[in-house]
Amino acid sequence: MVAMEATPQAELRARRSPSRSEGQGRAAATRARIVASAGRCFARFGLARTRMDDVAAGAGVSRALVYEYFASKRKLLAVVQREALADWFAAYEAAVADTPSVRAALTAWLGFCLTDSDRHALARAVFVGQEGEGAGAWSEWRIQLRDEWLARLTALLERGIARGELRAGLDAEATALALRGLQVGVTQQVLGDPETGVARERQIAAAIDLMLAGLLPPART
Amino acid sequence: MVPPDLQKRAPQTREEALRDFRTDQIMAAARRVIGAVGWADASIDKIAEDAGVARSTVYVYFDGRDDLLNQCLAQNRIGLSERVREAVQGADGFEAGLQAFLEAILVYVGEYRAFFAAIMQVRGLDPFFRHDDRPATEVDSIRVEVQAILADLLKQGLHEGLLDEAAMVEATRVMGSMIYGSLMWRVNDPEPVPAADEARSLARTLLFGIARTG
C-alpha cells in the first residue's frame, strides 16, 4: 500500500527512471533521510512535540526542503508509519522465509524484533500517537498492523498444522491472538527489563517452549 | 448517651466520606484527562477543570501530578486485585481458574482503556517505549500484585498435580509477558476481540501449547 500524496514530483520522476541522473538519486536519498530523522523525532518527542525544525536538523537539511517533500507533519507521520510497517513485515518475511519449522519461524520472528536495535526507534515512532491526535488516521494504521500481524501468524500456524507439526484441532485464528500477546510481551520484557539477569536467548527459548508444549504434561495434551 | 468514642468518630467519618468522594471525583477526572491528552499534557489545571473543582482543591488532596497519578494507580491496583481474586475464587479447577484470571484482567483494564493506554505508553509496559520521565512506581505494584495472584493460581495447579514444579519460574515469567503483550494490544486496539474469547485463547495456549505432541 503505497500512497502518493506525500511524494514530491522530483521523486516520482526519480522512481520512473532511477538511474537517469545523480540528482534524482539524491532526491530519494534526501527523502529517506528526512523520513529516518522524523522517525527518531517522533520516537523521542511524540507527534505533538516534534517540530519540523528538529526533523530538518536531524536530516541535515533546511526546514523549507522538508516541506518540499512533505506538506505537513501529519503526512510525514503517515509516511513514517507506513514505511515502518512495510519494513517490519519485510524483515519478518526475510526472517522466516527459509525456516524449516514453526519453532524456527517463531524464534526468528522474536529474534528480529529483539536484535535489530535500529528498528526499536522506528517501531516506537510507529506506536507513538495519542488518542486526541488524529485518532482516525491512527486507528486505520493500527488496524492494518493488527490485521497483517494476525494474518501472518495465522498463516504460520496453518502451515504448521498442514505439515503435522502442530495439533490438528488447533484453532489457528484464536491461537494467533495468544501468540501475538506473547511475542509483544517477551519483546517488552527483554527490551524493557534488561536487568532480570536472564539471558535473552534463554527467555526466547522459554517462551517458545511454552508456546509449543504448554504448561501441562504431555499426557494431558 | 452517646459513647465517647462515637462522639469522636462521627464527624471524622463525615470528613472522610467527603474526602473519599472528592478524591474519587478528582481521580476519575485525572484518568479521563490522561486518557484523552496523554500523561505529558495532563496538567493539574485541566484535571481540576474536568473535575469541576478549583486548582487549589486538587492540592488539598494530592501533593501534585505524580502523587495524583500514583493514587489513581493504587486505586486501580486494589480494584483489579479484588476483581481478579473474586473471579479466580469462583472458578472450578485450575484451567477454569486460569481463564477467569485472564478474563478478569482483560475486562478490568478494558474499563479504563484510554487511561491504561496512556500510562503504558509512557511507562514502558509497551515493548517499544522506554521514556526517561517515568511517571510512577505504582505501576510496578500492580504488576507485583497480579503476579502474586498468578503464583497462588499456579500453586493450585501444582497441588492438583497438573504442573511441573521445575518449570514454574520460567512459566510465570513467560505468562506475565503474554499478559502484558495482550494488554498492550487491547488498550490500543480500536475494536478488540471479546475479552472472554481472548482469555480462552491465552489459557489454552498456555496450558496445551500448539505442538502436535507435548
Q: How does pLDDT run across B46-64, given as a tens digit for each residue? A: 999 999 999 999 999 999 9
Residues B40 and B117 in one domain: no
Domain range for A26 = 9-216
In this structure, the answer to whether residues B102 and B146 fall within a common structural domain is yes
A91 or B103, which is more confident? B103
Verify that B47 and B69 share a domain, yes or no: no
Instruction: Name every chain A residue with its beta carbon within 8 A of the beta carbon of B191.
Output: 143
* Domain count along chain B: 2
Asked if B119 and B152 sit in the same domain, the reply is: yes
Could you tell me which chain B residue has the CA closest to the CA of A136? B190
Check residues A39 and B71 and name the one with the higher pLDDT.
Answer: B71
Q: Is residue A172 part of a domain?
A: yes
For A5, A64, B35, B131, the CA distances from A71, given in Å and listed in that order, are 9, 10, 29, 29
Between A157 and B131, the higher pLDDT residue: A157
Residues B164 and B75 in one domain: yes
pLDDT of residue A191: 64
| Residue A171 resides in a domain | yes
Residues B32 and B134 in one domain: no
CATH for A22: 1.10.357.10
Range(s) of the domain holding residue B166: 64-214
Contact B210/A183, CB-based, under 8 Å? no
Mutation target vs A (from B177, B183, B201; most A CBs, 10 A cutoff): B177
CB contacts < 8 A, A to B, total 195
Interchain pair B36, A132: CB under 8 A:
yes
Comparing CA positions, the residue from B155, B209, B102, B97 lying closest to residue A217 is: B209
A85, A189, A215, best to mutate vs chain B, most B CBs in 10 Å: A215
- The percentage of chain A sitting over the pLDDT mark of 90, rounded to a whole number, equals 15
State whether B18 and B95 are in the same domain: no
The residue of chain B with its CA nearest to that of A202 is: B170
End-to-end Cα, chain A, rounded Å: 42
Residues B47 and B147 in one domain: no
CATH number for the domain spanning B120: value is 1.10.357.10
B169/B69 same-domain check? yes
Read off the pTM: 0.76
Question: Among the three residues B13, B33, B62, which one is the final residue of a domain in this structure?
Answer: B62
| pLDDT at residue A77 greater than cutoff 70 | yes
Burial of A112 (0-12, 13-18, 19+ CB in 10 A): middle
Mark whether B207 and B127 lie in a shared domain: yes
The beta-carbon neighbor of A214 closest among B180, B189, B205 is: B205
Predicted confidence (pLDDT) per residue in A141-188, tens digit? 777 778 888 899 899 889 888 888 888 888 899 989 888 888 777 776
